[in-house]
Structure 1
Amino acid sequence: MKPESTSKPAYQESAGLVETNRVTFQGDNFILKLESGKTLSPVTVAYETYGQLSRDRDNAVLVCHALTGDAHAAGRHTHDPKEKPGWWDMLIGPGKPLDTRRYFVICSNFLGGCKGTTGPAEINPATGKPYGLHFPFYTVKDMVKVQKWLLDHLGVKRLLAVIGGSLGGMQVLQWAITFPEMVVGALPIATTARMSPQAIAFNEVARQAIMSDPQWNFGLYQPEHQPASGLALARMIGHITYLSQEAMLRKFSRRFINGSQRGYKLEADFQVESYLHHQGSTFVNRFDANTYLYITRAMDYFDLPSDYGNLEKAFSHCQCSFLVISFTSDWLFPPSCSQELVKALRTAGKNVSYCNIGSDQGHDAFLLPGNRMGEVISGFLTRLENEVNL
């Protein structure tokens, strides 16, 4: 399958106007048995697709989003030039690494999200009210089960690749383990086989920030009156872990908001403080507090060595090729986490490539332009195509 010619430079075209679709899985065949022992039904999934599924149904690429992402990975929903494109628009579209002239790209809001997929913020059909804290705990493995339902619904029998960063990378690893016969290539980016105690600690402080806000009210807040202060603080805490010291120095240094003058006040006085406050306040407008509690806990519970005995055993039945990508300045999931994955995969006899990309952008590098990630991904996908004779 060769790309069509284009007069525009590579990586410059857009996925265009897209829409978010929803499908509800219900009935006796769609009772989701969660790892916690609870069940959930019905389950609605929000998703977007880009490109066309080939006649042989062999060109599908599943994109898994990170902690606060959603199904809107590329393109725009309207013609409004002020609208932001999807969160991975730099990678998805004609002529881009996830070339929609070649691949059928799928991205869904994962189980427990708050962007159209069943989660704590959605309405419980049994009560007519949001699930809130009555929503059952779920894991990354549960997310992958629901994504498999979606792919079956779309008629996808095999994935040329599954790709994602951070929590998305955890889903990638789980896909390769849970459905080994279905995945040709796996691209876990800036991720880990298990959360470190330090990462769990940051998540716990963020959760406590939310639950300490009086507006949280044990999860019984109204959507229009959610714990804004606590959620904003949680986002500020999390965002610090996504950046690097180098990035902070480059972006803000020790500059004051008002030039070089100290304000002698407790309100934000440094530019980095103003930036974090902005990140927190805008986050409140697009995310749900209870959902943040559940998703961070799902990340904490992800532990492949514990679940399968050790990491080599976890990968023992995988059949796909792997491309593991890390970033030099990522201190949340540092290169050593990816190197642990690579070592275990090689010990298990798997086909694995590894790229540690030089970047000063920290953990968020996989969401930002200015590094070689797109080129590396494009080359790996082309190799996969050649392997399966696409």
Structure 2
Amino acid sequence: MADGALDEGFGRAPISPASLPATGAWRVGDPVGHRRFLTLATERPFVLEGGGKLRGITVAYETWGQLDADASNAVLVCHALTGDSHAAGPSGHGHPTPGWWDDLIGAGRALDTDRLFVVCANVLGGCQGTTGPSSMDPATGRPYGSRFPVVSIRDMVRTQAALADHLGVDRWLAVVGGSMGGMQVLEWGVMYPDRVRSLVPIATCAAATAQQIAFSSVQRSTIALDPRWRGGDYYDAAPGDGPHQGLAIARELAQITYRSDLVFDDRFGRNVLDPMDDTFTLWQRFDVEGYLDYHGAKLVRRFDANSYLVICKAMDLHDIGRGRGGVDAALRRVVAPTLTVSIDSDSLYFPYQQEQIRDALAANGTPVEHAMVTSDHGHDAFLLETDQVGDALVAFLEDVEKRHG
């Protein structure tokens, strides 16, 4: 089917469905790139917070720089929903896209790898090397698919703690991350207060709000309603026969929440992609629709529909106060100096949510600073405004090393 042709059930798709894989997951046998792998102990199950169990978990990770002899210079970077361990470096063999924070990680950059040892791991439930729904279930020899259990942010952090043990890092100089990455940062501060010297949660929340869960619910439903999802067992489907429609629409919905109205209007306005002369049809597209279609197809080529479901659910479940007497009680466990970062145009994780974290920490006597990123880009500014994010990071980490070393 030619580009621009209509895909059954997805009337405005500007892509050839036959070109889209059933899953964009990294699979064993694919080029490894810069990934390294840790397999957790197989002699006992890894019991998940929600009651499930996994055996033989693999954690895919990347590192930059060298660990000091006393392991005091290690920084953990935590990725967001569709990120992975490739936080820095070019695209190429094994990595379909450049590092998602490439402007911040490297020699002479904010996370200066001439003096810092930077680590980023693909989260549990992901699809780029860490155990997730597309991984082989050792009990069956087939992909987990529908049998993969629900995981939480706390489960993800526990695998990162095991990785820290493996790397010889008793205490991180800093744990840094935005959006879902910021959720992991907060859990590090609550779960392992003695293993972090500082925390930098960016554009995140202490607990997912009803609106955030609502956005996620609609995205998950688009995948589940795709007939090619097959209840989660689609890994033997031919190219073009996987749940690409549902995953692409989920990404398009998310993309709307990641950017601001100002950016959409400034970039696209009411410009049209398909001619709209004297005859109107349902699927003539405005420019903004073509932009969304592009991002939907792009994600399908590098991500997995089941992982999207699992990780979105983990974000919905995020609540640092669960089982701990509430958010304020949980934040009383945080003792590490913390830099909270907001984006003034963020309409997904509103600035008041980071300010609530700041205020609760300050009330507890925890050293806390707050930075506001000024940007028209909305939530995605934590990925795009790297100069502002980097400046705040550098100043904060310099203070941590001087005053709290």
**TM-score (structure 1 length as normaliser):** 0.91
Offset of residue 259 of structure 1: 8.0
Say yes or no: does 1:288 pair with 2:304: yes
Alignment of 1:93-104 (within 5 A): 93-104=106-117
Answering whether residue 69 of structure 2 is matched by residue 32 of structure 1, we say: no
Counterpart residue identity of residue 88, structure 2: A
Aligned to 1:86: 99
Does structure 1 residue 358 correspond to structure 2 residue 374?
yes
- Structure 1 residue corresponding to 2:356, chosen from 317, 336, 340: 340
* Structure 1 partner of 2:65: 51
User: TM-score normalized by structure 2?
Assistant: 0.87
CA distance in 2, matches of 1:166, 1:262: 45
**Contact residue 134 and residue 235 of structure 2 kept, 8 A:** no
- Output the CA distance in 2 between the equivalents of 1:79 and 1:168: 25
Q: CA deviation at 1:266?
A: 2.1
2:317 to 278, 301, 304: 301
Matching residue of 2:37:
22
Q: How does 1:307-326 map to 2 (within 5 A)?
A: 307-326=323-342
SS at match of 2:112: coil
1:159 aligned counterpart, secondary structure: coil
The one-letter code of the counterpart of 1:146 is T
Q: Which residue of 1 aligns with 2:84?
A: 70
In 1, Cα distance between the equivalents of 2:321 and 2:295?
Answer: 34
SS of corresponding position for 1:126: coil
Q: CA deviation at 1:253?
A: 1.5
Structure 1 residues 108 and 51: CA distance shift in structure 2, 3 A: same
Partners of 2:67 and 2:182 lie apart in 1 by: 23
Q: Which amino acid aligns with 1:58?
A: S
Moved over 4 A (4+): 77-80, 258-263
| Cα distance, 1:122 vs structure 2 | 0.6
Cross-structure match for 1:11: none
Cα 1:370–1:69 change in 2 (3 A) is closer
Q: How does 1:35-184 map to 2 (within 5 A)?
A: 35-76=49-90, 78=92, 84-184=97-197
How far off is 1:322 after superposition?
Answer: 0.2
Find the aligned partners of 2:149 and 2:396 in 1 and give their Cα distance: 38
In 2, the alpha carbon distance for the partners of 1:286 and 1:79 equals 13
Q: 1:257 to 1:78 in 2, by over 3 A?
A: closer
SS, match of residue 105 in structure 2:
coil
**Residues 1:266 and 1:168: Cα distance change in structure 2 (over 3 Å):** same
Task: State how many pairs are aligned.
Answer: 371
Is 1:368 the counterpart of 2:391? The answer is no
**Deviations 1:82-136, CA, capped at 9 Å, x for gaps:** 9742111010001100000111000000101000000111110110111012111
Q: CA RMSD in A?
A: 2.0
* 1:200 and 2:204 are equivalent in the alignment: no
Percent identity of paired positions between Structure 1 and Structure 2: 45
Q: For residues 93 and 235 of structure 2, what CA distance do their matches in structure 1 show?
A: 32
Counterpart-to-counterpart distance in 2, 1:324 and 1:219: 37
| Letter paired with 1:240 | I
For 1:327-349, what per-residue CA distance to the aligned partner results, in whole angstroms no more than 9, with x for missing partners? 01101000011111111111222
Conserved 8 A contact 2:104-2:386: no
1:89 and 1:260 map into 2 onto residues whose CA distance is 40
Residue 356 of structure 1, CA deviation: 1.7
Letter in 2 for 1:364: D
| Contact kept in structure 1, 2:59 and 2:130, CA below 8 Å | yes
Residues in 2 aligned to 1:70 and 1:304: alpha-carbon distance in whole angstroms: 23
- Uncovered stretches (5+) of structure 1, i.e. residues with no partner: 1-17
